[in-house]
Structure 1
Amino acid sequence: MIIVLKPNVSDENIKKIENIIISKGVQPHVSKGEIQTIIGMVGDTTKIDPKIIEVEPEVEKVMKVSEPYKLANRAFHPDDTVVDVAGVKIGGENLALIAGPCSVESEEQVIEIAKAAKKAGA
């Protein structure tokens, strides 16, 4: 289940919704965007009536999600994921080219390919 809060909800009101979720025996997973906050419920939500949460004034809508991978789902996490690795941004609109074998056969193979990739400018 995913809860979409109204724009610019205060941290205090987000905590209030989180406490309601915890009281139902599931864990909240908060994703704060620039304008809107989305809270995913992680756990068995089959016995939770969405109307209990929909009546809260901070809530814009509640959506049942029956598909897998809720935490990676664009409905729950609409923003691109960008990871910073040693000052290099990977993800979103940042292009990352990764050199190497598709599988590891041996340590020697990995070292040889790493040296070749480095020599080529990777």
Structure 2
Amino acid sequence: MTERVTATPAAIQLIEQLKGKHGPLMFHQSGGCCDGSSPMCYPDGEFLTGDSDKLLGEIGGSPFYIGEAQYEYWKHTQLIIDVVDGRGGMFSLEGPEGKRFLTRSRVFTEEERLELNQ
């Protein structure tokens, strides 16, 4: 089955490390503002989602949400969450680790798009 959001092995490793420190996690794909368009990692339930947030799936067993307006721009792509060295969003849990989550993407194939639209 095609997933709308996945994570690289490096991102999964960091997620597991953060879970060990902070417990269950959640992600929200930022649509800009203070932290650019980075995937933000929070303790589960700390970021309040609303009616305009869409649950895309899970990465590392953690729910991953995206704002509806942002989803409209990226709905034709699979989000691939990766991690790189550096400082990310000031409110995201990975910041003190000297790492930041990063969203990469790829366009769905025609077959994947049809599967997702069923």
Shorter-chain TM-score above 0.5: no
Instruction: Kindly indicate which of the two structures has a greater share of residues assigned to strand.
Output: 2
Which structure has more relative contact order (CA 8 Å, sep 6+)? It is 2
Larger Rg: 1
Instruction: Compute the TM-score of the two structures, normalised by the length of structure 1.
Output: 0.28
Instruction: Compute the TM-score of the two structures, normalised by the length of structure 2.
Output: 0.28
